[in-house]
Chain A
Amino acid sequence: MNTIGVPIDIRLPLTDEAVASLRAGMTVRLTGPCYTARDAAHKRLVEMLDRGEELPLPLRGQCIYYVGPSPAPEGKPIGAAGPTSSYRMDAYAPRLLALGLKGMIGKGARTRPVLDALRREKAVYFGAVGGAAALLARHITASGLIAFPDLQSEAIRLLTLEGFPAVVLADSYGNVFPEAQA
């Protein structure tokens, strides 16, 4: 699929039916709760799993947005909040997907182990436009700290997305967008 059609409204957390309905190349508008985590938070989460500890966030059915926002101005829930490059999380993502994570939002290509895990675990990878950070912030209506405040912008937050524009870059059937990236 190489056309951007009318965006489809998708609610978070993702249901299995929603995941099954998504195909690489579709445009979506995401609405609902979504956690943030990027490099340092992923490292800690996986270390916690290694130690057999309980994670500070639920994974089952949830979606993680790879973002480290800029500080929120007075009266706004969040600062600029565009995606960071997803491949840096590829070392950790299959582990989280195996624990029930259903969606990831980021930018750029994923490596084979992540694409395989998406198919195996029935999950999906969304892309947001890198650098459209102030525009994307308008689609985040709430933000609350969940864990690792010492990580500053890299702390885990719970966001509320409202019509957040994204494209399905890799679906649960092994398709990627654009196809040249497969």
Chain B
Amino acid sequence: MREISCAALQAAVTELFLKANREIAPDIRQAMEAARDAETSPAARYALEQLVDNYDCAREDGLPICQDTGMAVLFAEVGQEVHFTGGQFTDAVNAGVREAYVRGLLRKSVVADPLFDRRNTLDNCPAIIHASIVPGDRVRLLAIAKGFGSENMSRVGMLTPSAGEQGVFIYIVETARLAGPNPCPPIVVGVGIGGDFEQAALMAKHATARPLGQRHPDPRYADLENRALDAINALGIGAAGYGGLTTVLNVAIESAPTHIAGLPVAVNICCHASRHAETTL
């Protein structure tokens, strides 16, 4: 049994959301710079220049990269040997989120009720927590600050087995096409294939945080990722939707066993401001 204090958990969560919102991951920055340098459309290049400059403006001015600092999503892989002391896990995560968003001057974007009482909760809580129990005595935290311009463009499709690889491919590309300029392209596309309705969506969200260029370990899925990437770029939506070469930075697929009758596909779209950070306690 290893003890981890809720205070340490809370502090780690605060750090992750501050970091995710203020500093773009190096792989994303590199990809954006490469897209800018390769871009032949003057309009898209103009947009990409602004977006790369924006990372420096944010750092120099102490501002978040984007004003939509997202809903706070936390994936926690908790080793079963871990015992949290001095509080309650969920409370500690929310206290960490509160601290990041209030002290860090991030935007509070959560309303208390979706339909009848859209009152701002004023601290960006509650966080959306996906905890799983894993072997070992460590806790792995992945924080995603998820903006809704892109979240709103995401889809879940309950395809049937006959749809096959081609059906899945079309569903992914069609989701990007329908999203058009709205999710702040260049986008990052996370895809969950298999499982059930909610597991597909969960895999898709998790996949949005995969480092760029890393491919699915199964070469058949890796090939599907590459084909979807090329097909989405061929749509020509371009940066900011201004028309251009780079519409998508990455397509990352996660897959899982599913039911004999089903082929669920979830496509979670993330914007170029793909903000995530991770740590291990």
Contact with B along A116-137 (1 / 0, CB 8 A): 0000000000010111111101
CA distance A71 to B67 in the complex (A): 9
Query: Would B107 and A69 count as touching, CB distance under 8 A?
Result: yes
One of A13-21, A50-58, A80-88, A91-99 contacting the partner: A80-88
Interface centre among B45, B47, B271 (most CB of A within 10 A): B47
Contact of A135 among B54, B238, B273 (CB under 8 A): B54
* Closest Cβ–Cβ distance, residue A19 to chain B (whole Å): 21
Contact of A70 among B42, B63, B243 (CB under 8 A): B63
**Which residues from 98 to 148 on chain B have a C-beta closer than 8 Å to any C-beta of chain A?**
105-109, 118, 120, 122
Q: Are B182 and A85 in contact (CB under 8 A)?
A: yes
Question: A131, B273: Cβ atoms under 8 Å?
Answer: yes
Residues in chain A near residue B218, CB distance under 8 A: none
B107 near A70: Cβ-Cβ < 8 Å: yes
A132 interface neighbour in B51, B120, B182, Cβ under 8 Å:
B51
Q: Is the interface of B mostly helix, strand, loop or mixed?
A: loop
Kindly report which residue of chain B lies nearest to residue A69, judged by CB atoms. Answer: B67
- Answer yes or no: A151 CB below 8 A from chain B CBs: yes
CB distance from B32 to the nearest CB of A (A): 10
Pick the residue among A107, A109, A150, A178 that contacts B43 (CB under 8 A): A178
Which residues on A sit within 8 Å (CB–CB) of B268?
none
For chain B, the count of residues having a C-beta within 8 Å of the partner chain is: 45
The closest CB in chain B to the CB of A153 belongs to: B107
Q: A85-B182, A181-B181 are in contact. Are A70 and B64 (CB under 8 A)?
A: yes
CB-CB contacts below 8 Å: A32-71 with B: 40, 67-71
CB contact between B47 and one of A40, A76, A129, A134 (< 8 Å): that residue: A129
CB distance B108 to A108 under 8 Å? Answer: no
Docked Cα-Cα span, A71 to B106, in Å, equals 7
Question: Given the complex, which residues of B lie within 8 Å of A87, measured CB to CB?
Answer: 182
Q: Which of B61-102 contact A (CB under 8 A)?
A: 61-69
CB of B279 closer than 8 Å to a CB of A = no
Shortest distance in angstroms between A105's beta carbon and chain B's nearest beta carbon?
A: 13
Residues of A within 8 A of B (CB-CB), count: 44
Known: A2-B43, A80-B58. A151 touches B120 (CB 8 A): yes
Interface residues of A in 124-182 (CB under 8 A from B): 127, 129-135, 137-138, 150-153, 165, 167, 177-178, 180-181
Asked whether any CB of chain B lies closer than 8 Å to the CB of A103, the reply is: no
Q: Which residue of B has the minimal Cβ distance to A84?
A: B149
Which applies to chain A's interface (DSSP): helix, strand, loop or mixed? loop
Q: How far is the CA of A130 from the CA of B238 in the complex (A)?
A: 13
Alpha-carbon distance between A174 and B271 when the two chains are bound, in angstroms: 29
Across-interface contacts of B53 in A (CB, < 8 A): 132, 135
Q: Are B57 and A138 in contact (CB under 8 A)?
A: yes
Complex Cα distance, B106 from A152, in Å, reads: 12
Known A109-B180, A135-B54, A181-B180: A73·B243 in contact at CB below 8 Å: no
Once the chains are docked, how many angstroms separate the CA of A131 from the CA of B63? 12
Q: In this assembly, does B160 line the interface, its C-beta being within 8 Å of a C-beta of chain A?
A: no
Identity of the chain A residue whose Cβ is nearest the Cβ of B43 in the assembled complex: A4
Give the chain A neighbours of B240 by CB distance below 8 A.
Answer: 107, 127, 129-130
Chain A residues with CB under 8 A of B149? 84-85, 107-108, 130
Q: Select the residue from A40, A131, A134, A178 with max chain B CB neighbours within 10 A.
A: A131
Complex A-B: 24 CB contacts under 8 Å: A3-B42, A4-B42, A4-B46, A68-B107, A70-B69, A71-B106, A73-B62, A73-B105, A79-B67, A80-B63, A80-B67, A81-B67, A85-B152, A107-B149, A107-B241, A108-B180, A133-B54, A133-B58, A137-B57, A138-B57, A150-B120, A167-B43, A180-B236, A181-B180
With A70-B105, A130-B149 known, 5 other A-B pairs at CB within 8 A are A72-B105, A107-B240, A129-B51, A130-B271, A133-B66
